Amino acid sequence: MRKIWQSKWFRYPFWTIVFCFAAIGFFLSASYVAIKFRLTDEKGSVDANNRYFEGMEDKYNQAYKLNSEQLKALHFESLDRILLLKKFYPKNAQYILDAWKASNNEVEVKRMIDAVDIQLKSNRAYQQQRRQLKRKKQQKESGNLLSAFEWMNIQEWSDFKIAVAKDVALVDSVAQQTDVEGRLIVSCLVGEQIRLFNSDREAYKKWISPLKILSVESMFSFGVTGIKEHTAIQIEEHLKNPKSIYYLGEKYAHLLDFKTNNPTQERISRLTDFHNHYYSYLYAAIFLKQVKMQWERAGFPIDHRPEILVTLFNVGYPQSVPKAHPKVGGSTIKIKDKAYTFGAVAYQFYYSGELYDLFPFEKRKFDWEDIALR
Instruction: Mark whether 234 and 117 lie in a shared domain.
Output: no
Q: In this predicted model, which residue has the larger pLDDT, 17 or 267?
A: 267
Question: pTM for the complete prediction?
Answer: 0.64
Instruction: Mark whether 167 and 107 lie in a shared domain.
Output: no
Specify if 290 maps to a domain: yes
Last residue of a domain, one of 143, 161, 187: 143
Cβ-based neighbour number of residue 223 at 10 Å: 28
- What's the rounded Cα separation, in Å, for the pair 168 and 212? 15
Last residue of a domain, one of 143, 159, 183: 143
In this predicted model, what pLDDT tens digit does every residue of 183-193 receive, in sequence order? 999 999 998 89
Instruction: Mark whether 229 and 314 lie in a shared domain.
Output: yes
Instruction: Mark whether 272 and 176 lie in a shared domain.
Output: yes
Specify if 58 maps to a domain: yes
CB 232 within 8 A of CB 178: no
CB 310 within 8 A of CB 187: yes
In this predicted model, what pLDDT tens digit does every residue of 113-172 receive, in sequence order? 888 888 888 899 998 998 888 887 776 665 567 888 999 998 889 899 999 999 999 999
Instruction: Mark whether 187 and 119 lie in a shared domain.
Output: no
Find the domain containing 101 and state its range. 53-143
Cβ-based neighbour number of residue 114 at 10 Å: 17
Instruction: Mark whether 178 and 318 lie in a shared domain.
Output: yes
Instruction: Mark whether 299 and 212 lie in a shared domain.
Output: yes
Specify if 218 maps to a domain: yes
Specify if 70 maps to a domain: yes
CB 347 within 8 A of CB 308: no
Least confident of 137-141, 216-220, 254-258: 137-141
- Model confidence at 78, pLDDT cuts 50, 70, 90, reads confident
Instruction: Mark whether 276 and 330 lie in a shared domain.
Output: yes
Which amino acid belongs to residue 277? H
Specify if 133 maps to a domain: yes
Instruction: Mark whether 100 and 222 lie in a shared domain.
Output: no
Instruction: Mark whether 111 and 234 lie in a shared domain.
Output: no
Render the burial of 226-264: b for 16+ CB within 10 Å, e for the rest.
Answer: bbeeebbebbbebbeeeeebbbbeeebeebbeeeeeeee
Instruction: Mark whether 154 and 211 lie in a shared domain.
Output: yes
In this predicted model, what pLDDT tens digit does every residue of 321-372 receive, in sequence order? 999 999 999 999 888 888 999 999 999 999 999 999 999 999 899 974 444 4
Instruction: Mark whether 132 and 166 lie in a shared domain.
Output: no
pLDDT (0 to 100) of residue 367: 73
